[in-house]
Amino acid sequence: MDYKREFIFAIVGMLAVAIGTAGTAQIIKPTLDNVFVAKDATMLSIIPFFLIVIFSIKGVGQYIQTYYMSYIGLDVVRKLRDDLVTHLTYQDIAFFNNMHSGEILSRITNDITRIQNVVTTIIPNFIRESLTIVALTIYVIYESPKLALYFLVIMPLAILPLSRLAKKMKKYSKLSQESTSTMISRLGEIFSNIEVIKSNSTQTIESNKFSQENYSVFKYLIKQVKVNALTTPIMEILGSIAIGVVIYIGGTEVIEDRMSVGSFFSFSAALFMLYNPIKRVSKLYNKAQDAVIANYRMHQLLNMKPKVVSGDIVLNNRIERVVFRNVYLNYEDKRVIDGVSIDIKRGDSIALVGDSGAGKTSFVNLLVRFYDADMGVISINGVNIKELTLSSLHKEIAFVTQRVHIFNDTVANNIAYGQEVDRKRVVEALKKAYALEFIEKYENGIDTILNESGNNLSGGQRQRIALARALYKNPSLLILDEATSALDNKSELLIQRALESIRDKIITVTVAHRLSTIEDADRILVFKNGKIICSDTHQNLLNSCNEYRKLAKL
Ligand code: DUT
Ligand code: MG
């Protein structure tokens, strides 16, 4: 274990607390018998000193234990969070499409906090209180085995109702964690859709929906409180019975001179001291149920395996050739790529057109391996794409979509994303993407911080940033999926021209709705229901392809 040293310290601390607590009970006996009854002056000067020593041992032990256990707990959680984030970023794109981002955030924050609670407080308290119970019990038996017997027979009776409460607790923990997740998901939804909500004035509808989720969180939490709150009174009533019995029998022993007053009070003090740790242990047990569920949910995530995994052949060269051989792709049951075959070589500029939902985005998603083909083979330079390492493949591809992703960082770091920043090349890329003109207007130029939602940029400006990022990468396969849709006609034309200079050295795959954008592509693929129904140049397609003529007319 990584935490051997910390753990040993913590255990030593816990032992000190347990021994100190038993010592506190023990010291009552000489105080009463030797000082008050026998009036012994030497003991009078020794006992206060011992008292201070005992409490110091307990205090130092408490400090050491708290510090080292918290250290372990916080560090375990830090590592867990690191692992989880790394693990999640490798999950399939389908996972992110299916799982609400709010749900993911909730798992990472809320569930982890619950687990943190276990390691930093529940486990150490549990161990410490248990050790204290053991120490006090040993002391009680040593002091008066007969009295201890009565007490130790009654206490286990408490376990029955308490274990039933723990079971209930587990159920409500699960429900409350699930409803918290749903609530956080809803929150995420509200704020990411805030434009729609405000422009439709649907705040009431949304807050009512939220209110329902919020209420069910409340409902389960309050049920947890109820179960938890029952623990104390049950323990107290049982405890009072036990102590009542002890007073009666112990009193008789003292009256009949079989036990000294000091022994009786030491014994009773130990019993009273037992009460708190026993109560805490049973509460901790309930709380632990909460963490068991959180831990389960966490491991559900950690055990999830992505379907799309890296191969181990490193793609060392530029992409020279991309071949699709009879490729099929389904989303769940829906067929979206239906037997596509195509051969693309360096220097080709390919354009994809077709109705909405025809499968164009799905086609390009296969090239970046957001998905893997269900049947058929895609090969890059003659190697099956699945056998290539993802990182070497992605180094050669620049992928620009309609949705522009901007990091909360400088313009330069956004452009050189994932690579060394070469300021000269950043400026060059910005110039080619016609982005330099507005970046230059910022006081800090390419050192200006962009915010992650890109709100300080217009839609067209954001697209130009994305194009600059793609150009900076110097890819051998450039994919543009409606990457210029937010640009005005003039900027689009200018960018087309900028791309022309690199077009014959690389493969470009462009998806566009505006046919003007792709008229001079080497080959235009017309998609319909996941199939390529025509494939030729603009002029030839106008003559030969009905579907293309229809698109051209629009
Ligand atoms: N589809 C899904 N799940 C997804 C993505 C898409 O079921 O996660 C469906 C919707 C559509 C088909 O797959 O019927 C093809 O979608 P794609 O996004 O490939 O269509 P497109 O040609 O890119 O359409 P558009 O021009 O609207 O972008
Ligand atoms: Mg699309």
What is the pTM (predicted TM-score) of this model? Answer: 0.78
pLDDT tens for residues 448-479?
Answer: 988 766 567 888 888 889 999 999 999 999 99
Question: Can you give the pLDDT at residue 91?
Answer: 92
Q: What is d(CA 521, CA 349) in angstroms, rounded to the nearest whole number?
A: 5
Question: Can you give the pLDDT at residue 280?
Answer: 83
Nearest to 533 by CA among 551, 518, 545, 519: 545
pLDDT tens for residues 185-217?
Answer: 888 888 888 889 999 999 999 999 999 999 999
The fold for domain 321-553 equals Rossmann fold (3.40.50)
Q: Provide the residue ranges of all domains of the chain, joining segments of one domain with +.
A: 4-302, 321-553
Report how far Cα 116 is from the mean position of its chain's Cα atoms: 13
Distance (angstroms) between ligand 2 centre and the Cα of 357 equals 7
Nearest to 131 by CA among 15, 13, 273, 12: 15
Strand order in the sheet with 349-354: 397-400, 477-481, 507-511, 349-354, 523-528, 531-536
Q: What is d(CA 115, CA 127) in angstroms, rounded to the nearest whole number?
A: 17
Distance (angstroms) between ligand 2 centre and the Cα of 145 equals 81
CATH class of the domain defined by 4-302: mainly alpha
97 within ligand 1 shell (Cβ under 6 A): yes
Q: What is d(CA 221, CA 320) in angstroms, rounded to the nearest whole number?
A: 60
pLDDT band at 38 (very low <50, low <70, confident <90, very high): confident
Question: Can you give the pLDDT at residue 147?
Answer: 82
Are 140 and 243 in contact by the 8 Å Cβ rule? The answer is no
| Minimum CA distance residue for ligand 1 atom 11 | 357
Between helices 423-432 and 459-472, what is the axis angle to 10°? 130
Residues linked to residue 528 through DSSP beta bridges, in sequence order: 531
Question: Can you give the pLDDT at residue 454?
Answer: 58
Question: Can you give the pLDDT at residue 162?
Answer: 77
Please count the other Cβ atoms lying within 10 Å of the Cβ belonging to residue 243. Answer: 18
pLDDT average, residue stretch 300-305: 90
pLDDT average, residue stretch 525-529: 94
Kind and range of the H or E element at 79?
helix 41-89
pLDDT band at 327 (very low <50, low <70, confident <90, very high): very high
Are 326 and 339 in contact by the 8 Å Cβ rule? The answer is yes
Residues 6+ apart with CB under 8 A from 550: none
Q: What is d(CA 195, CA 314) in angstroms, rounded to the nearest whole number?
A: 44
Q: DSSP state, 450?
A: P
Are 286 and 169 in contact by the 8 Å Cβ rule? The answer is yes
Tell me: pLDDT of 318 over 90: yes
| Minimum CA distance residue for ligand 1 atom 27 | 356
Tell me: pLDDT of 227 over 90: no
Burial of 468 (0-12, 13-18, 19+ CB in 10 A): buried
Tell me: pLDDT of 252 over 80: yes
Distance set, CA 393 to CA 95, 104, 315 (Å): 21, 28, 6
Nearest to 428 by CA among 365, 371, 474, 376: 474
pLDDT band at 146 (very low <50, low <70, confident <90, very high): confident
Distance (angstroms) between ligand 2 centre and the Cα of 482 equals 7
The phi, psi pair for 404, rounded to 5°, reads -95, 130
pLDDT average, residue stretch 37-58: 90
H runs (alpha helix) in 370-458: 390-396, 411-415, 423-432, 436-439
Mean pLDDT, rounded, of the chain: 88
Question: Can you give the pLDDT at residue 455?
Answer: 63
Question: Can you give the pLDDT at residue 406?
Answer: 86
Distance set, CA 82 to CA 71, 78, 86, 109 (Å): 17, 6, 6, 12
pLDDT average, residue stretch 350-375: 94
Question: Can you give the pLDDT at residue 453?
Answer: 63
Tell me: pLDDT of 238 over 80: no
Residues linked to residue 479 through DSSP beta bridges, in sequence order: 399, 509
361 within ligand 1 shell (Cβ under 6 A): yes
In which region does residue 258 sit, left (phi positive, over 0), alpha (psi from -120 to 50) or beta (all else)? alpha
Atom of ligand 1 nearest to the CA of 355: 26
Question: Can you give the pLDDT at residue 1?
Answer: 59
- Provide the percentage of residues in the chain whose pLDDT is more than 70: 99
Q: What is d(CA 37, CA 251) in angstroms, rounded to the nearest whole number?
A: 17
Question: Can you give the pLDDT at residue 191?
Answer: 87
Kind and range of the H or E element at 400?
strand 397-400
pLDDT tens for residues 109-134?
Answer: 878 887 877 777 888 888 888 988 89
Residue to mutate (ligand 1; options 331, 366, 509; most atoms within 8 A of CB) = 331
Burial of 38 (0-12, 13-18, 19+ CB in 10 A): exposed
Question: Can you give the pLDDT at residue 381?
Answer: 95
Q: What is the DSSP string of 464-509?
A: HHHHHHHHHT--SEEEEESTTTTS-HHHHHHHHHHHHHHHTTSEEE
- Provide the percentage of residues in the chain whose pLDDT is more than 90: 42
pLDDT average, residue stretch 5-28: 90
Distance (angstroms) between ligand 1 centre and the Cα of 346 equals 27
Question: Can you give the pLDDT at residue 317?
Answer: 92
Question: Can you give the pLDDT at residue 123?
Answer: 82
Question: Can you give the pLDDT at residue 58?
Answer: 92
pLDDT band at 366 (very low <50, low <70, confident <90, very high): very high
pLDDT tens for residues 479-500?
Answer: 999 888 878 888 788 788 778 8
At 550, which amino acid appears?
K
Q: What is d(CA 133, CA 153) in angstroms, rounded to the nearest whole number?
A: 15
